[in-house]
Amino acid sequence: MSLPDQWVSLSTDEPIWERFFSVFPLVLVGTREEDGGHDLAPKHMAMPMSWKNWFGFVCTPRHRTYHNVLRTGQFTVSYPRSEQIILASLAAAPRSDSNQKPSLMALPVFPAQAVEGVLVKDCDLYLECELDRMVDDLGDNSLIIGKVVAAYVNQQAMRGDDREDNEIIRDKPLFAYLYPERFAIIEKTQGFPMPAGFKR
């Protein structure tokens, strides 16, 4: 059976991901620099790595984030709110000729509690992770997986029996990154129609 006319075959000789939009979170990964300072870098290929407490993100060995995690064995994750889009953008600014990232001075931070690092102020969710493993040679990229050793969520964003999920999302909208180069604010959702007896 052939595909209908409206379908286009994409060549896999080159990356396909910029030919359509995909929904991702956007997080700020924090690492400790060799001089004791901190680095923050936005990552969108980032998510839980199992139903247990592992978290991973895709990075490249060309970036300081990769080498900082490899050296220290730790990293932090801050989930920015939609109002913090400019801060997230500043974290993506390139380094200067002296290999500094002056835009980071505009990001308000506070110390992590369980690992060496910083978290970005006023986010709704924070993770502190210790390196578990790195999967290299995914083309130019690597997958960095950490064990979550501490996690904090804004009380208004936390699910519980006393509030409907829709109410939580309305009061604390989610910030989604639509690769490539767009974002969305999720304020309204619907329950997924899980089949009876479904188990993960």
Pairing of strands 54-59, 174-179: unpaired
Per-residue pLDDT tens over the stretch 163-181: 999 999 999 999 999 999 9
pLDDT number for residue 94: 81
Between CA 56 and CA 103 the distance in angstroms is 25
* Cα distances (Å, whole numbers) of residue 177 to 3, 36, 196: 30, 30, 32
Distance (Å, rounded) from C-alpha 38 to C-alpha 82? 23
**CA angle (62 as vertex; 59, 63 as ends), nearest 5:** 60
Q: For the segment 32-57, what is each residue's pLDDT rounded down to a tens digit? A: 999 999 999 999 999 999 999 999 99
Domains of the chain are 19-186 (2.30.110.10)
Residue 136 pLDDT exceeds 80: yes
Q: Which helix (H) or strand (E) holds 147?
A: strand 141-153
* pLDDT at residue 1 tops 80: no
Summary mean pLDDT of the chain: 94
Amino acid at 21: F
